[in-house]
């Protein structure tokens, strides 16, 4: 009889833990998007740069080269490539690179960390785009400076739209 009572108490305790964890995760999933995403592209860039001045380049000149098609037929799988003009030595290397967008539900598209052992400061991937918008690639150098390039793209078939 006493063994059954201990077993019931153990089951009730586990059930309470599972219920509490479920409620906690639900609150996290519901509340996080409200506080998690920066309101604008400029805010996202400023948060990444921690308030430091960002030097913007152009499509033909600058430290950051952001390769993406300007006209995109389908926003579901858009190939991008970001490279930074850096020797990637212990004295001069890229610490982090990120890509931010203007109109997707989440401002941060990709964020990665690098070290001199990477050899090249280049990242390529595919992303989803909700609609025509501005995208900014930004690089943080080991001396604390930030460089970026902004590209405006036109998307004809949208992806990842939240209603």
pLDDT tens, residue by residue, 39-94? 799 999 999 999 999 999 987 788 999 999 999 998 899 999 999 999 999 999 99
Q: Does one domain contain both 84 and 14? A: no
Residue 55 tokens, joined: 């030097």
- Where residue 130 falls among pLDDT bands split at 50, 70, 90? confident
Identify the domain containing residue 143 by its residue range. 41-155
* 25 shares a domain with 6: yes
Same domain, 148 and 92: yes
* 27-41, 62-76, 109-123: the lowest-pLDDT one: 27-41
Whether residues 9 and 86 fall in one domain? no
pTM reported for the whole predicted model: 0.73
**Average pLDDT, stretch 120-145?**
94
Q: Are residues 77 and 131 in the same domain?
A: yes
Q: Rounded to 10 degrees, what is the CA torsion of 63, 117, 49, 131?
A: 70
């Amino acid at each position: 009889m006493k063994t059954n009572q201990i077993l019931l108490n153990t089951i009730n305790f586990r059930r309470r833990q599972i219920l509490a964890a479920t409620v906690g995760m639900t609150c996290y999933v519901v509340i996080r998007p409200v506080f998690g995403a920066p309101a604008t592209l400029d805010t996202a860039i400023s948060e990444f740069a921690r308030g430091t001045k960002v030097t913007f380049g152009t499509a033909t000149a600058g430290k950051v080269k952001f390769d993406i098609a300007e006209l995109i037929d389908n926003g579901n799988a858009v190939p991008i490539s970001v490279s930074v003009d850096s020797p990637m030595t212990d004295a001069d290397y890229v610490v982090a690179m990120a890509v931010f967008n203007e109109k997707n539900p989440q401002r941060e598209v990709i964020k990665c960390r690098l070290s001199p052992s990477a050899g090249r400061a280049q990242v390529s991937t595919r992303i989803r785009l909700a609609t025509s918008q501005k995208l900014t690639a930004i690089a943080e150098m080991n001396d604390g400076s930030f460089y970026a390039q902004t590209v405006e793209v036109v998307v004809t078939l949208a992806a990842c739209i939240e209603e």
